[in-house]
A = this chain, B = another copy of it.
Amino acid sequence: MPKIENTILSDHVYEGIRDMILGGDLPPGQKINKNELVERLGVSLTPINAAISRLVGEKFIEQQSRYGFFVKVFDCKEMQDLYAVRAGLEGIAIRLCIENGCEEELQHLAGFFEGFRLPFSEDDKKRYAQEDKHFHSTIVKYSANRIMQDMNMSYAYIIRSYQKGLIRAPEETLEEHHSIVNAIKDRDGFLAQEMIIQHHLKSKEVLKQQCTSED
């Protein structure tokens, strides 16, 4: 009877570095200093290398041969791509959730953005940003689709999406969120999908404008 206590050092190191990235401790573009991690985590290079390689596979870290490892930076084009992916993935997720009739989950989703009404105070804006993030990640969670959830985590694109604050003003997106929630309340999977797709594609369009104006 094996497997009494299987605590692998690499796994802890992996989680540690990943949390540093997600927590902003290691910001995008930051070079990974292995020796610093050796001291900070109190382990040798081996488990650190294993963790970093895994994070390269998960697109958290980018390798530049012989130059070092860097926390992945998402440029404007990639941010647009991220929003297209979100549109496709969250769209099909909400559609299937409604079509398969997961009642509890849908009732929870139907309750989002309830207390929000314009105009927003500063505090409202903060709460709204939180609600936004929570709403979209909950959709992926309720998809009960492991592959989708892994993709979500791998790229951590939700986190990245919000790292520079909201793409568009609440004045613009609140109505869209209400449309999505209403479609959910009506149990109209097709409409909910289309609403969420348009929601993300609009954000993608705004990012595109920002891109081209930068160059």
Q: Contact residues of A with B, CB < 8 Å?
A: 2-3, 6, 8, 10-11, 49-51, 53-59, 65-67, 77-78, 81-82, 84-85, 87-89, 91-93, 96, 143, 145-148, 150-151, 154-155, 157, 197
How many protomers of this protein does the assembly include?
2
Q: Which residues of B contact A146 (CB under 8 A)?
A: 77-78, 81
Q: How far is the CB of A197 from chain B (nearest CB, A)?
A: 7
Roughly how many angstroms separate A192 CA and B197 CA in the complex, as a whole number? 15
Assess whether A82 is in contact with B155, with CB atoms less than 8 Å apart.
Answer: no
Q: Is the interface of A mostly helix, strand, loop or mixed?
A: helix
Given contacts A49-B53, A88-B93, list 17 more A-B pairs with CB under 8 A.
A2-B67, A3-B67, A10-B53, A49-B50, A53-B57, A54-B56, A57-B58, A57-B154, A58-B58, A84-B92, A84-B93, A84-B145, A85-B89, A88-B89, A88-B148, A92-B197, A151-B154
Q: Which of B2, B55, B82 is in CB contact (< 8 Å) with A57? A: B55
Sample of 30 A–B contacts (CB below 8 Å): A2-B67, A6-B66, A8-B65, A10-B53, A11-B65, A49-B50, A49-B53, A53-B53, A53-B57, A54-B57, A57-B58, A78-B146, A81-B145, A81-B148, A84-B93, A84-B143, A84-B147, A85-B145, A85-B147, A85-B148, A88-B88, A88-B91, A88-B93, A88-B148, A91-B92, A92-B197, A147-B155, A147-B157, A151-B151, A151-B155
